[in-house]
Amino acid sequence: MKLAILLLLVSIMSFANSVDFKSHFFANGKEIEGMDHIMIMPNTPTLIEVYFSDPRTNEVYKEFKVMHGKYMHMIVSNKDLSVFKHIHPYFDPITGRFSITLNLPYADPDNQDTSSALVKPGMYMIMTDVIVKGVGMRMDHAMAMVKGQNSQVQLQADFETNGTIEKFFYRDNESIPTYKAIFNKKIINGCSGNIVKFEIEMFKYEGDQYVEMLDFKPWLSEAAHAVWLSEGYMNHMHHNMPFAHMHSPFFMDDDNDDSNDVVKDNVLRFNFHDKKKMLHGLQKMWIQFKHLDKIMKIPFVFLYEPQKPRGC
């Protein structure tokens, strides 16, 4: 029973390879075709537009459902996973187009990542996530190359003791890091893949000690969001992208304003059914939450070597 509920809660996403859905990506008005990538000048404003059509009729989809407060979620990440941006393009219901200008600052707090999205040279993946009305949740992606001398950074696992990672994070330029996080994961092996349960215990520095953090502000209707990508994900992107987008819930009271909504405790919980698509080896995961009107982004690098389940 518990497992069934968990499976329901797990967000399962598949990348588009369907007969009813085709995506069209443009960078500065030029279409990024299929496996091609577009060349982008570093730190130069670049207009990204996306629309989706039904390949059977060439009809452009114009009706979308809001998902976690937005019509579209866009993730931009580079090959070595040193860059991660979470962006929300704007939707025009007349044309069915989503658009956003990368490398341009927006006043919109949900788009604080656009200002320096494509600065570091190298290959990038631009991933989009929408719910088309009457069709369902669809993801797709396009590649972009940022020009310049590409220096790849080797991913380094965070230090683990007995499977636990303890990390400190700065909020601004304070002398003592504001946040402390204790990261744990549990893997439940299954024949159709593994269920991975992440627990991240959050503390904040107050007075002269770290205390349990309970004052998360709802961000896009959740206490926290997380994205997990496997090292080498760009080599596996066509059908089963090793990509997970997860949410840790906020518990709402019934008064229709979010002022009294709470988290249960100081633990953020993310669950994912990996459907065998996550690669073994090093992984990077970013959690995002809103605290004192700033959206924080905290990365973890960990090893994922699930055992083969028995009796399948």
> What residues make contact with Cu ion under the rule CB under 5 A?
73
Query: Minimum Å distance from CB 6 to Cu ion?
Result: 23
Write down the residue that tokens 């396009």 correspond to.
142
Nearer to Cu ion (CB atom), residue 73 or residue 273:
73
Closest-by-Cβ residue to Cu ion is: 73
22 or 73, CB closer to Cu ion?
Answer: 73
Q: How far is the CB of 284 from Cu ion (least distance, A)?
A: 17
DSSP-assigned states of every residue in 254-288? SSSSGGG-B-SSSEEEEEEE-TTTSPSEEEEEEEE
Q: Least CB distance from residue 153 to Cu ion, whole Å?
A: 25
Judge contact between 47 and 117, C-beta under 8 A.
no
Return the number of the residue (195 or 244) whose C-beta is nearest Cu ion: 244
CB of 225 to Cu ion, least distance (A): 7
Contact between 272 and 199 under an 8 Å Cβ cutoff? The reply is no
- Residue placing its CB nearer to Cu ion in the complex, 165 or 298: 298
| Tokens 């439940």 belong to residue | 188
* Smallest distance from Cu ion to CB 191, Å: 32
Distance CA 104, CA 100 (A): 9
Per the rule left: phi > 0, alpha: psi between -120 and 50, beta: everything else, 162 is: left
Concatenated DSSP letters of 102-151:
ETS--S-GGGTTSTTSS-S-EEEEEEEEEEETTTEEEEEEEEEEE-S---
Task: Assign 173 to helix, strand or coil.
Answer: coil
Nearer to Cu ion, 16 or 279 (CB): 16
